[in-house]
Amino acid sequence: MKKKLLVLGMVLLTLLQPLAIAADELVDLTKKMYPNDNVQAYNRPKSSLVIDANTGDVLWKDNIDEVRDPASMSKLMTLYLLFESMKQGKVSKDAVVTATASDQAISKIYEISNNNIVAGVDYTVPELITMTVVPSSNVATIMLANLMSNNNPDAFIDRMNEKAKELGMTNTTWNNPSGAAISTFQGLYNSYNYPNEMANQTTARDLAILVYHFIKEYPDILNYTNQAKVTVKEGTPYEETFDTYNYSLPGAKYALKGVDGLKTGSSPRGAFNYIATIKRGNQRLISVVMGVGDWSDQQGEYYRHPFGNALIEKAFSDYRYKKLLDKGVQTIDGKTYTLSEPFYATVKKGEESPKLVVKDGKLVAENEMVTLSSKISDELPVTEGAVSQEEGAAVPQTKKKFSLPLDRLVILIPVGIIGVILYLEKEKRKKWVEDAQKRYKK
């Protein structure tokens, strides 16, 4: 029996070794970057992921498909739908939401509130966005959700889940718009089709998919997430100033070069979570850490940033976003193609540039990297043959034919006639001289 248990133990250790290596590497990286922070292995993220935000290529992953509670990072889906609604013209950025008595009451619920809302006061859409992303206001999130759904919670949550499927978030279920279970709103916000006690469920991979699309399609969100301190309704009786929970932003405790967003979240079930976006030069990364620390230790809101920052620095150290071909006519595998824009790819530093191939009219870098989702592609459509940039039409590869404009032809005709006459006169004179010479010899 003991022998069987020993064999079983060895098998389990073999299966778990890849995860242990990844976890140990993350802890070691973090301790090296923050030697004075008492980094503990038991606080490490349960899931972690870094991707290239330009290509969707995965640069680091550890347990990225474990389903977890994202807590307030759920607000990113509500904001994505808001920006989509603004693009579609369904919601105006200049819209004003007048706070109701219910909104004010929600803002007074201690367990889920971190800002004031006053009934009868007008709040602009940008103010509500700011309060949603920086202090992570649950009531501001609900006000935006109600604006988009005409106060129909179930219709809005339906839309959240439909969008998740559309984006390829295959392990995500939304049960509320803000990350706070609907039951915590004490009857002031209700759903009849979704379990009011349930937290939202998603994964590090799915959150990275959401953020990838958010930044690609609506980069203006970063103008709301890139400041460590913000003020709303400045100069009014309702003015409030908020400090960010994103301590990797410039000016915050764990400031890191290039960080300009995006969202944090925490809950008893989900522990401490963090999504960062970082840009250096033309290279942008997205880093996701989930399940840092334990809810009983509120210092977890600080523990998450060293782990996330260490992964970010590792990714920048290991990879670069490199231009492989310029815009215009290029030769690939002996064939001529026209690129409408320069072609970039994620490249591991210290390795040769990947082979470029054209498949089904699309240029691909064979860099052996895994892309985050089948719905994300870093391929570039190309046109076979040389293309006129002005006309946008293919130029056939044939020999040039000689041709003259009509105005030049009109000028050349008289000149040609005069030339013929002169030639004939010359020949005539030559004949006369020859005849004269013959008569003289006689």
- Quick check: 293 and 271 in contact, CB under 8 A? yes
For residue 291, give both structure tokens.
């399940």
Which residues are within 8 A (CB) of 36 and not within 5 positions of it... i.e. 6 or more apart?
none
Q: How far apart are CA 215 and CA 20, in angstroms?
A: 32
Beta strands in 213-371 (DSSP E): 229-232, 240-243, 259-267, 271-280, 283-292, 319-325, 328-332, 335-339, 343-348, 355-359, 362-366
pLDDT at 437: 52
Sheet holding 259-267, edge to edge: 58-62, 47-52, 283-292, 271-280, 259-267
Q: Which of 48, 85, 136, 149 is catalytic?
A: 136
The closest alpha carbon to 282, from 316, 246, 250, belongs to 316
Q: What is the pLDDT of residue 74?
A: 98
| Given the residues 47, 61, 74, 75, the one annotated as active site | 75
Q: What is the pLDDT of residue 398?
A: 41
Give per-10-residue mean pLDDT for the chain (442 aa). 50 45 80 95 97 97 98 98 98 97 97 95 98 97 98 98 98 98 97 96 98 98 97 97 96 96 95 97 97 94 97 97 94 92 94 90 89 90 76 44 48 62 68 54 43
Binding-site entries: 263
Residue indicated by tokens 């007048």: 98
- One-letter identity of residue 278: I
Query: Which tokens is 202 given?
Result: 């998603």
Domain range summary for the chain, segments of one domain joined by +: 321-384
Contact criterion met (CB below 8 Å) for 76 and 275: yes
The CATH number of domain 321-384 is 3.40.50.720: no
Q: Any catalytic annotation for residue 136? A: yes
Among residues 47, 48, 61, 72, the one annotated as catalytic is 72
Contact partners, residue 433, CB within 8 Å, separation at least 6: none
| Phi-psi map region of 59: left, alpha, beta (phi>0 left; psi -120 to 50 alpha) | alpha
Catalytic: 431?
no
Compute the distance between CA of residue 435 and CA of residue 342 in angstroms, rounded to an integer. Answer: 77
Question: What is the pLDDT, as a whole number, of residue 12?
Answer: 47
Count CA atoms within 13 Å of residue 263 on its CB side: 30
Helix (H) or strand (E) holding 25: helix 2-33
What's the residue count for the chain?
A: 442
H or E segment and range at residue 88: none
Side-chain-facing half-sphere of 293: CA atoms under 13 Å: 23
Binding residues for substrate: 263
Is there a contact between 278 and 312 (Cβ–Cβ < 8 Å)? yes
CA distance 64 to 47: 5
